[in-house]
Amino acid sequence: MRRALAIFLILILLTPSIALGNAVDLTSAKAAIIAPLQSDMTIEQKNETEQYNVAGLCKLPAILTLSIAFDKGVIEPQAQMQVSHKASGISGPTAFLESSEVVAAEELIKAAVMISAGDAIYTLGENAFGSEQVFLQNIEVTLDSLGLDVQATDCLFSGCTFTAEEMLTLAQAAAQSQTFLKYCGVYMDELVHADGRRTELVNANRMIRNYSGCFGLMTGSSKDDGYCGVFVAKRNDMCYVCVVIGSKNSEDRFNVATSLFDYAFSSFRIQTLATAYTPLLKEVLVRSGDPKSVDLVSHETAVILQRKDEGELEKVWEIAQELQAPLYADVSVGMMTVRNVQGETLCQIPIYPAVDVQSYGTLDILRRLARNFLGC
């Protein structure tokens, strides 16, 4: 959480430089937003803080929680799960599960991710966590870890409203779950039942077939809520997540998502200024130090979003010409300042010794000799 906050604080300083306004036509959606996969810095948005019903996307917290449970080994893919009477009666997209049938967990998560099958989601949650109530408590833990506060009365979050910003946060987390990624980009598959029946699973996310680089995530629609979707696409080293809420039809939903991705990929680049605990400067000499040199690092990962038509950034190091021992890994020894071509400071990143460096003066040498030879 501390690292994510630091990234956000660095990026928010750049808001004036990318305040674009109406760069993409979003009139056919109630709300929309696009941002890089691993930051809160948005490129374009509309009504991003307004609450909306999001049709089937309301199941994303539950599916994400289950995916994380698979990722962590809490749910084993081959675990056999029995379908309850309540689970078999869940309305909406369905895997056509029958009461009392037994299905492997990996079949259920496939149906949950690909088509948001409510019966599969409920069966997984009920079996893995013991009851719907405990499943709901675990979903709330997932939301809390993402800084989200959404109140629900059932594990599918029926009737709950979300903002585009909240859906973006959920989508960013889902796009980093190996289990979710395993199935969200699959267009067609099937669920095999124990009695030999086969349920065809067809992913409604047309973007995974028609948009270059798109590998997920999820769609939902209803007469009242309109057509909604969360999408992720990657080209080269750039990866973006976008959310579309309340389009009038499927075509409008995908057109808005396509326009957002096209604009982001064509107009922006992402640069990593620092990776947490990876050396920024190597083997910097330390006077009277043991060791005699030390790597300098940032304690946080810092990423910057920059327009492609802007010039290269300048990095200025503000550290003493010669470091003096002792040094401590939790005490900053300077700053890396990042400036644009106009010379404006965009952000400042504190830098630290990678390890503690002991002082090694004459008095220290005498003390070590005493310890080594006199045993005191």
pLDDT single digits (tens) 326-358: 999 999 999 999 988 888 888 899 999 999 998
pLDDT at res. 19: 40
The Cα 167–Cα 185 span in angstroms is 18
pLDDT at res. 365: 58
Instruction: Give me the mean pLDDT over the 217-246 stretch.
Output: 95
Q: Which range (15-24, 40-49, 157-166) has the least confidence? A: 15-24
What is the average pLDDT value for the chain, to the nearest integer?
Answer: 89
CA-nearest of 108, 181, 173, 188 to 143 is 173
pLDDT at res. 269: 87
CB contact set of 193 (below 8 Å; sequence gap of 6+):
97, 98, 101, 103, 199
pLDDT at res. 281: 92
pLDDT at res. 103: 95
Instruction: Give me the mean pLDDT over the 75-87 stretch.
Output: 96
The Cα 227–Cα 218 span in angstroms is 11
pLDDT digits (tens, 9 = 90+) for 255-307: 999 999 999 999 998 888 899 999 999 999 998 888 889 999 999 988 888 88
pTM of the model: 0.80
Residue 6 predicted with pLDDT over 60: no
Residue 73 predicted with pLDDT over 60: yes
More confident residue, 61 or 92: 61
Residue 211 predicted with pLDDT over 50: yes
pLDDT at res. 344: 87
Beta bridge partners of 190: 200
Instruction: Give me the mean pLDDT over the 10-35 stretch.
Output: 67
At the top level of CATH, the class of 2-268 is alpha beta
How far the first Cα of the chain sits from its last, in Å, is: 46
The Cα 18–Cα 57 span in angstroms is 29
pLDDT at res. 312: 83
Q: Where are the domains of the chain?
A: 2-268, 275-362
Contact yes or no for 279/296 (Cβ under 8 A): yes
pLDDT at res. 76: 96
pLDDT at res. 303: 81
pLDDT at res. 5: 36
Does 275-362 carry CATH code 3.30.750.24?
Answer: no
The Cα 375–Cα 242 span in angstroms is 66
Write b or e for each residue in 44-75: b if 16 or more Cβ atoms lie within 10 A of its Cβ, otherwise e. Answer: bbbbbeeebbbbbbbbbbbbbbbbbbbbeeeb
Residue 247 predicted with pLDDT over 60: yes
Q: Which range (96-105, 190-199, 244-253) has the least confidence? A: 190-199
